[in-house]
Chain A
């Protein structure tokens, strides 16, 4: 199939060797690329039970057949390994330009094995691979590290780097590129840190080929005009994800003070309109016409974003309504290499612990100067920050407060209150990497489109399956979530254009189901079953008091009902495991 480079770069950091091998095209036919294909590689190559922070873990950067082409929104890169936060499979998707440069350098994927014996970085210039000394970069933030490396090389290089959080092996350490783009969740930054790998620097000058390219780019340009650059999608250019703030507020799913409630009557003080007044520029990812990145400056505080997740985590959920503090905290977390969702949930939990008198972490809701200092301490593993860097699951096991420790399998909750969108509690519970909003985004149907009633278990198994199957395909093609009008038919047409092999919508759907199954099979092999598909007790026990979803809580029986519906749709056993017949299809 065209679209691929048919080449994998395999790096052994322990031996300092770089070898190339053909891409497993038999696997690519079943899993396409990006998310699906990287999980297949890890499923085949990682031994069960390994320590995610040992040399036995692998870190994979995986592109897809559309990477480097003009297919809209195709600039994302999958970053995957076994997660130190959860012990599950974990694939992240990072924007920017790194995916394109890896592909133009000639590779579908980079598989990184072993560990360096001292800090270093990997330099990839097409066929030339070298292992460079990184001792002077170690300890530096993501932003300074990228600035030094870009200064040394040039702007046509991409830098993927970790900050102090990755070096201290925190489960909430991310990998950063283009300064403000992250492979955010599940601690992929600490997998890189455990390998003493501070950065990957890549430049590519080669080509990507697809069949009948002159006609194909004309058709792709039509698709861009007719399907991508529509008002339903271009709101991400106008407002970015800040638009979700108002939508979630109006829908009763904007969490407040560590998910103790929803709704902040003063939310307009930090909404998208307020933030957009501080816009200093727009920047998107490679191959994307939507350009969601809002480059903001408020006083000394600078960031690209803040994204909805960060606004919610550092805003209402932290009891804060100062937009400058949100941007400043975002800037610090990005520089430290911390996932803003997990770090935010941890601090918000710690503030509730303090205010409830269960344990005094020395921080109260709304104390943003301290919040920002705590973020630095968490990343550097200093003082109380070293404790907080454990994540809410382990913290609650040690200090109490597990009823309101917002996580699934050790991955902290994204900022959508599930009591106002019951399907989201199921989506968080069955997601392949712990609580994640990118696997199945139920609020779209339950709240924004209101196509299915939100406060009932009815139909939620099928809803979450349909959403998860679609996203599993989309992320295996490396296409971004923000192309909201994308359909299975369009994905099939794009695959046909790029690979030269005929794909149908049914073929795509089959891949989606297979990708969900192999991720589940990986986790099953690690011992995960239905008992791990959980929700925090707060969701079951405490009714929301304010907002459109006031009075709502999710009865535990309803939650279990939704899980069983989902397992049934997937053809899984009642204990959440895959029958052997399904494992045989992987």
Chain B
């Protein structure tokens, strides 16, 4: 596991553009639909007075893989969900510490790092998201 590349986020560099969620959905859902993206990071002003961050991205911790009761989730250097096997039980989503598993129509959707070349990192303009 030590040499596996994973997403890392530095909030001090994030400007809240949300290009990550847009490009993720474009790549995986065939449309710009950030509500379905597997990475979503936003910044906001808390009551106008403090700049806050909400980040939701997979860092390949493997908890979903370890807890999947059907073996639908595999993990090598990336997570893959076999939708023929997934029964949509939601265990992965419930156990995910970062709340980045998307469940819809009884299937689970998890970041696959764009097969080792994540688009979210490619579009991140300020280097807030890196893959290393």
- A and B co-occur in one complex: yes
Q: Is B48 a contact partner of A289 (Cβ separation < 8 A)?
A: no
Q: Is A283 a contact partner of B43 (Cβ separation < 8 A)?
A: yes
A231 to B58, CA, bound (A): 32
Question: Cβ of A163 < 8 Å from any Cβ of B?
Answer: no
A218 to B123, CA, bound (A): 9
- Residues on the B chain within 8 Å of A207, using CB: 25, 29, 31-33, 36
One of A68, A208, A281 near B51 (C-beta < 8 A): A281
Question: Cβ of A375 < 8 Å from any Cβ of B?
Answer: no
One of B32, B44, B48, B122 near A302 (C-beta < 8 A): B48
Minimum CB–CB distance for B119 against chain A, Å:
7
- Residues on the A chain within 8 Å of B42, using CB: 155-156
Question: Cβ of B67 < 8 Å from any Cβ of A?
Answer: no
Q: Is A287 a contact partner of B15 (Cβ separation < 8 A)?
A: no
Tally B residues with Cβ within 8 Å of A.
Answer: 32
Nearest A residue (CB) for B11: A281
Interface code B60-81, partner A: CB below 8 Å = 1, 0 otherwise? 0000000000000000000000
Q: Is B54 a contact partner of A284 (Cβ separation < 8 A)?
A: no
Interface code B2-37, partner A: CB below 8 Å = 1, 0 otherwise? 000000000000011111001101110111111110
Question: Cβ of A59 < 8 Å from any Cβ of B?
Answer: no
A156 to B16, CA, bound (A): 12
A68 to B26, CA, bound (A): 11
Nearest A residue (CB) for B34: A104
Question: Cβ of A295 < 8 Å from any Cβ of B?
Answer: yes
Q: Is A178 a contact partner of B45 (Cβ separation < 8 A)?
A: yes
A171 to B16, CA, bound (A): 32
One of A104, A210, A217 near B35 (C-beta < 8 A): A104
- Residues on the B chain within 8 Å of A290, using CB: 125
Question: Cβ of B126 < 8 Å from any Cβ of A?
Answer: yes
One of B16, B33, B49, B125 near A208 (C-beta < 8 A): B33
- With contacts A205-B35, A209-B31, A283-B43 known, is A214 near B19, CB below 8 A? no
Q: Is A289 a contact partner of B44 (Cβ separation < 8 A)?
A: no
One of B22, B27, B45 near A214 (C-beta < 8 A): B27
A210 to B26, CA, bound (A): 9
- With contacts A179-B45, A291-B125, A302-B48 known, is A285 near B17, CB below 8 A? yes
Minimum CB–CB distance for A148 against chain B, Å:
9
Q: Is A180 a contact partner of B45 (Cβ separation < 8 A)?
A: yes
- Residues on the B chain within 8 Å of A75, using CB: 17
Interface code A39-76, partner B: CB below 8 Å = 1, 0 otherwise? 00000000000000000000000000000111010010
A547 to B122, CA, bound (A): 46
Q: Is B16 a contact partner of A69 (Cβ separation < 8 A)?
A: no
- Residues on the A chain within 8 Å of B54, using CB: 155
A283 to B46, CA, bound (A): 13
Q: Is A291 a contact partner of B126 (Cβ separation < 8 A)?
A: yes
Q: Is B23 a contact partner of A284 (Cβ separation < 8 A)?
A: no
Give the residues from 73 to 111 in chain A that come closer than 8 angstroms, CB to CB, to chain B.
75, 97, 100, 104
Interface centre among A100, A216, A237, A286 (most CB of B within 10 A): A286
Q: Is B15 a contact partner of A284 (Cβ separation < 8 A)?
A: yes
A221 to B122, CA, bound (A): 7
Give the residues from 201 to 221 in chain A that come closer than 8 angstroms, CB to CB, to chain B.
205-210, 213-214, 216-218, 221
- Residues on the B chain within 8 Å of A224, using CB: 123, 125
A218 to B120, CA, bound (A): 11
Nearest A residue (CB) for B27: A214
Question: Cβ of A282 < 8 Å from any Cβ of B?
Answer: yes
Minimum CB–CB distance for A202 against chain B, Å:
14
Question: Cβ of A146 < 8 Å from any Cβ of B?
Answer: yes
Question: Cβ of A583 < 8 Å from any Cβ of B?
Answer: no
Nearest A residue (CB) for B29: A207
A151 to B47, CA, bound (A): 8
- Residues on the B chain within 8 Å of A295, using CB: 45, 51
Q: Is B26 a contact partner of A221 (Cβ separation < 8 A)?
A: no
Question: Cβ of A288 < 8 Å from any Cβ of B?
Answer: yes
Minimum CB–CB distance for B29 against chain A, Å:
7
Minimum CB–CB distance for A150 against chain B, Å:
8
Nearest B residue (CB) for A154: B44
Question: Cβ of A543 < 8 Å from any Cβ of B?
Answer: no
Question: Cβ of A229 < 8 Å from any Cβ of B?
Answer: yes
Q: Is A143 a contact partner of B48 (Cβ separation < 8 A)?
A: yes
Minimum CB–CB distance for B99 against chain A, Å:
14
- Residues on the A chain within 8 Å of B47, using CB: 143, 147, 150-151
Q: Is A287 a contact partner of B18 (Cβ separation < 8 A)?
A: yes
Question: Cβ of A568 < 8 Å from any Cβ of B?
Answer: no
Minimum CB–CB distance for A99 against chain B, Å:
12
A70 to B27, CA, bound (A): 12
Nearest B residue (CB) for A286: B18
Q: Is B119 a contact partner of A147 (Cβ separation < 8 A)?
A: no
Question: Cβ of A505 < 8 Å from any Cβ of B?
Answer: no
Q: Is A221 a contact partner of B23 (Cβ separation < 8 A)?
A: yes
Q: Is B17 a contact partner of A217 (Cβ separation < 8 A)?
A: no
One of A150, A217, A287, A288 near B26 (C-beta < 8 A): A217
Residues of chain B whose beta carbon lies under 8 Å from any beta carbon of chain A: 15-19, 22-23, 25-27, 29-36, 42-45, 47-49, 51, 54, 119, 122-123, 125-126
Q: List 12 A-B contacts (CB under 8 A).
A: A75-B17, A104-B32, A179-B45, A213-B30, A221-B123, A237-B15, A285-B17, A286-B18, A289-B123, A289-B126, A295-B45, A302-B49
The 5 closest A-B pairs by CB, nearest first: A289-B125, A291-B15, A207-B33, A281-B51, A207-B31
**13 more A-B contacts (CB under 8 A) besides A68-B22, A147-B48?**
A70-B23, A147-B47, A213-B31, A214-B30, A217-B26, A221-B23, A229-B125, A283-B15, A283-B51, A287-B22, A289-B15, A293-B15, A295-B45
